[in-house]
Amino acid sequence: MKNKNVKQNMKFSKIQKHIPVIIIACVVVITGAILFFSSDDIDKVKVSREALVSEFTGAYVEDIEPNGNIVEMNMTASESEVEIFDGYKTKVWSYNDTVPGPEVRVKLGDTLRLNFTNDLPQETTIHFHGVRVPNAMDGVPGVTQDPIKPGESFVYEFTPKDAGTFWFHPHVRTSEQVERGLFGTLIVEDDVDQKYSQDIVWVIDDWRMTEDRQVYEEFNTPMDLMHDGRWGNVMTVNGKLNEVLDVKPGERIRLRMVNASNARIYMPSFKNLNAKIIAVDGMYVKEVFDFGELELSPGNRIDIDITIPQDADGQVFELVDNFGREEIKLARIEVAGQAVATPEFNFPVNSEVPDWTGASDIEIDKEYRLNARRKTGEGMGMMGGIEWTINDKAYPDYDPYTFKYAEFNTMRFTNESVRLHPMHLHGQFFKVIARDGVPVSEPYFRDTVLVYPRQSVDVALVPLDKGLWVNHCHILEHAAAGMLTAVEVR
């Protein structure tokens, strides 16, 4: 017995000695099992491309039945003069003699017929930014149409498929022609618009001007190309240095902002005035969010819904830009008069915008590496030429990519440079699904997304519009220096 006891004690003490090792082993095995099974295999059911397409269905129409009403207008691009600074005539290029050009308004379902004449000393075209037009109406020379020569005319005709805020500009020597003043807005109205007290467009632009208040006529300078494009020294809203919107207390305003600058990015907000973003790049958001939290890159549009407080008589609300180090005043709202009843209705959101949760797990179909290189055969140093590349190619050298029509497609913009690139895709809306590999859920579609230095941005789309569509940086100097490619939807 004694011996047995001793033996048992010895066994026990052996086990005791091994307890720490056993515990550690158990912890390792259990932790491993948790890590192995939890994130990928148990909790997360991987989404399929098919499921993401069906979630998208209904977010916007594939096509629209024209209502038979044709809105016909004549538009001429020509050299003219405008008065931006009191007492100074600034020579510009304009549509119908104003900068911005016409604010074209149609109702959803209307067909726009634009009889366009080119009276400029250069070839030109018109591109309707963000509008899902038939491919032949997209205005890209060498891709969808021949350039319109001086003295020639062209009829642009289409029925916009989406209501919202859009704009148009040339797609020939764009960095020069837009800077000289060629741009206008296309507003496609829906029934909601009639409910607002006022429905206003503010086109924000910057100009690089000389001391005698003329457009500085060297375009695509090496400095512009090496940096973030041509940033101006004069800021205008609707072509004015001090744009003012007069409102009454209680009014509810739909304010549509367009960035028509060649390169400048804004982070606009109102001082002391709450406003909600209801649409981005023309399209209603799924959930409204605070104005002041979204960059307005060249090409982008932001629509906001503002209710002027009932007790705001005599107040002034300034629109300011805080993208750079110094705050810039852009325009203002001045409140005066008897208060009016505020129109009451829900924010006009689009509940069909897909969340696309899990979309960032889908494999990236096409990566676009964005970078710059010295142009071969040119000198060294500051005066040397630079070209901006997508996957090591500078337009007109490009590698077209095919989007599968009505399927879930993904693309990644990888910015290998230290410059900003607001990337714009013609003819399609997309959604940002990840930044630097981290899933994000923006409650809205876009047609232009800002890619910060060294950042990667993943986007997804279900293309419903067939054709060959260009895809480029909307810093117009970068596009001029090669940062343009094309995708074919088929």
Q: Give residues in contact with Cu ion (CB under 5 A).
A: 421, 473, 475, 478
Report the residue number, 279 or 411, with the smaller CB distance to Cu ion.
411
Rounded Cα gap, residues 270 and 302, in angstroms: 13
Which one, 432 or 473, has the nearer CB to Cu ion?
Answer: 473
* Complex with Cu ion: residue 286 or 419, whichever CB lies closer: 419
SS3 40: helix
CA 73 – CA 382 distance, rounded (Å):
46
Q: Give least dist CB 34 to Cu ion, A.
A: 44
Q: How far apart (Å, rounded) are the C-alpha atoms in residues 283 and 481?
A: 30
**278 three-state secondary structure:** strand
> Is the distance from CB of 310 to CB of 250 less than 8 angstroms?
yes
Least Å distance between CB 175 and Cu ion? 11
From the CB of 232, what's the least distance to Cu ion, in Å? 17
330: left (phi over 0), alpha (psi -120 to 50) or beta: alpha
Minimum CB–partner distance for residue 428 and Cu ion (Å):
19
138 close to 98: Cβ distance less than 8 angstroms? no
The closest alpha carbon to 95, from 166, 144, 168, 189, belongs to 168
CA dist., res. 410 & res. 428, Å (int): 13
In the complex, least distance from residue 224 CB atom to Cu ion, rounded to whole angstroms: 11
58 CB neighbour count, 10 Å cutoff: 12
Lookup: tokens for 292: 């002041």
State in angstroms the smallest separation of the CB of 362 from Cu ion: 26
Q: How far is the CB of 475 from Cu ion (least distance, A)?
A: 4
Task: At 24, list the tokens.
Answer: 């550690």
Helix, strand or coil, per DSSP, at residue 216: coil
Distance, CA of 67 to CA of 122 (rounded, Å): 36
Give the nearer residue to Cu ion in terms of CB position, either 161 or 173: 173
Q: How many CB atoms lie within 10 A of CB 37?
A: 11
- Please answer whether residues 171 and 127 qualify as being in contact, where contact means their C-beta atoms are separated by less than 8 angstroms: yes
Nearer to Cu ion, 173 or 478 (CB): 478
The amino acid at residue 288 is: V
Q: How far is the CB of 23 from Cu ion (least distance, A)?
A: 57
Query: What is the closest distance, in whole angstroms, from the C-beta atom of residue 459 to Cu ion in the complex?
Result: 16
Which regions of 42-118 does DSSP assign to beta strands (E)?
70-82, 90-95, 103-107, 111-118
Transcribe 290-315 into DSSP letters: ETTSS-B-TT-EEEEEEE--TT-TT-
* Rounded CA separation 188/105 (Å): 6
Cα 353 to Cα 55: distance, rounded to the nearest angstrom: 8
Closest to 186 (Cα-Cα) out of 296, 245, 109, 101: 101
The residue (of 301 and 421) whose beta carbon lies closer to Cu ion is 421
CB of 221 to Cu ion, least distance (A): 15
Min dist. Cβ of residue 455 to Cu ion (A) = 12
